[in-house]
Every structure is written in C-alpha cells, then in structure tokens.
C-alpha cells in the first residue's frame, strides 16, 4: 500500500515536471493539457476526470478495477496539480532540459513502484490489457491509443515537442528496468510454506484415492 501510494504521488509529480519544462509531454498529458485549456480546469483535475471516463470503457471488456486503479484515478491528478502549483517555471534552456529529463527518469521509477505494488493497473493501462486479453495485439492497441490521444491533444493545443519524443524513447527502457526491480514478491519463508502445504495436500489426495476406490469396490460386492 505504501509503495503504491508513493509511486502514484511520484508519477503525478514527474508528469508535472515534464509539463512545466515546456518541451512537450507524453501523449496522454498532451491530451490532458489541451483539454484543460478548453474546459478551464487545472491539468491534474482534468487527469482525474479523463481517468474516470476511461474507466467506463472497462465495462464492455469486462475489466474489474483494483484498489490501485481507483487510487490511480485520484492520486496522480492531485499530485500533479500540487507539483505544478508549487514548482517554479524554468526559463533557462539547461533548467528546462534538466527538469524534463529528471521528470522522465522519475516517471520510470514511479511506474515501477505503482505497477510493482501489484494492486491493479491504471485506467488507461487497463483498457490495453483488457483488449489484449480478448485476443488483440498489445502493440496495436497501445499504439492506436497513443496516436489517437496525441493527435487529439495536439489539435486541442497541447504541447508536442522534444520532450514527447524523449519520453517515447526512454520510458520503455526505464519501465523495463524498474518494474522488475520494484515488484513486490512473497517472502521466501511464506513461499516455502505455501509450497509445503500444497505438497502435503497433494499427498493426502493421493492417499485418499485408493481408500475411496476400495470402499467403492466393497460397496459393489455387498450389493
């Protein structure tokens, strides 16, 4: 639970850092930024609203949200608004680049933290995994989603730039590194205990089977 919430807070802060650099953002945040300008709400609040709407797409594909999913909808947007209200806007080019790159790296760490907690995917990732479970290509579904929201965000006035390209190139390797690193696994002792219990149950089942067969034969002979 602690890792989940910390990961979501860091994810929102990192999203805010990338946007504050003014060099572009990931496709979903380009869409959030463009939509926020039209509806007159903070970007983080828009993230919450879009996340709630995206979860409606879970209904036809029969996806069930976990606690991590619901937390994702709320916590990321709140952390993003808080970060953007607190952090100053950088003006020097090296500060903008530094904030963008630091935000992308922090986003990779945060992704590993909240996914590694194993308490449910985010609303947008849930759509991808839901369609993949129904036989669709993950690559095709994810690419289609990213292109659609990026195009819509650009048309709405969201910032597309070098940061968008840098995010696309770096987030995959970063997530590949940090998701396994931060994945929570059962303790060794608990895993061994579970294995021992399963082995005992299997032995008991094998021992019970001959008794049942013998009892069945006895009943047949008596009949």
Q: pLDDT tens for residues 155-181? A: 999 999 999 999 988 988 998 889 889
pLDDT of residue 188: 58
Whole-number average pLDDT of the chain: 83
pLDDT at 221 exceeding the cut of 50: no
Binned at pLDDT 50, 70 and 90, residue 206 comes out as low
CB half-sphere exposure, 163, CA atoms < 13 A: 32
Cα dihedral sign, 56-62-68-70: positive
Contact 5, 119 (CB under 8 A): no
Structure pTM?
Answer: 0.78
Percent of the chain at pLDDT exceeding 70: 83
Tell me the per-residue pLDDT of 85-110, one tens digit each, with 9 for 90 and over. Answer: 999 889 999 999 999 999 999 999 99
- Choose from 12-26, 57-71, 205-219 the range with maximum mean pLDDT: 12-26
pLDDT of residue 126: 83
Q: How many CB atoms lie within 10 A of CB 64?
A: 9
Contact 156, 38 (CB under 8 A): yes
Cα–Cα distances in angstroms (integers) from residue 124 to residues 55, 166, 172, 202, in the given order: 8, 21, 16, 41
Place of tokens 């069930």: 64
pLDDT of residue 140: 82
Q: How many CB atoms lie within 10 A of CB 71?
A: 21
pLDDT at 129 exceeding the cut of 70: yes
CA distance 207 to 186: 30
Contact 96, 23 (CB under 8 A): yes
CA distance 191 to 15: 37
pLDDT of residue 216: 44
pLDDT at 72 exceeding the cut of 80: yes
pLDDT at 210 exceeding the cut of 60: no
Residue 204: both structure tokens together: 């008991």
Residue 80 makes CB contacts below 8 A (sequence gap 6+) with 12, 13, 15, 16, 43, 44, 47
pLDDT of residue 107: 94
Place of tokens 């952390």: 79
pLDDT at 82 exceeding the cut of 60: yes
């Amino acid at each position: 639970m602690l890792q989940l919430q910390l990961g979501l807070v860091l994810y929102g802060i990192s999203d805010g850092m990338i946007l504050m650099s003014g060099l572009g953002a990931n496709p979903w945040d380009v869409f959030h930024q463009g939509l926020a300008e039209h509806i007159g709400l903070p970007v983080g609040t828009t993230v919450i609203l879009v996340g709630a709407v995206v979860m409606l797409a879970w209904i036809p594909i029969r996806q069930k949200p976990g606690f991590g999913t619901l937390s994702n909808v709320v916590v990321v947007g709140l952390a993003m608004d808080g970060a953007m209200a607190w952090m100053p806007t950088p003006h020097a080019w090296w500060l903008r680049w530094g904030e963008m790159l630091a935000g992308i790296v922090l986003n990779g760490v945060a992704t590993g933290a909240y996914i590694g907690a194993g308490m449910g995917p985010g609303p947008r990732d849930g759509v991808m995994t839901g369609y993949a479970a129904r036989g669709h290509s993950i690559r095709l579904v994810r690419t289609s989603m990213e292109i659609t929201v990026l195009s819509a965000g650009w048309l709405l006035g969201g910032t597309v730039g070098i940061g968008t390209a840098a995010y696309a190139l770096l987030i995959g390797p970063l997530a590949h590194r940090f998701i396994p690193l931060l994945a929570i696994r059962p303790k060794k002792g608990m895993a061994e205990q579970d294995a021992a219990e399963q082995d005992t149950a299997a032995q008991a089942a094998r021992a019970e089977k001959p008794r049942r067969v013998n009892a069945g034969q006895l009943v047949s002979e008596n009949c």
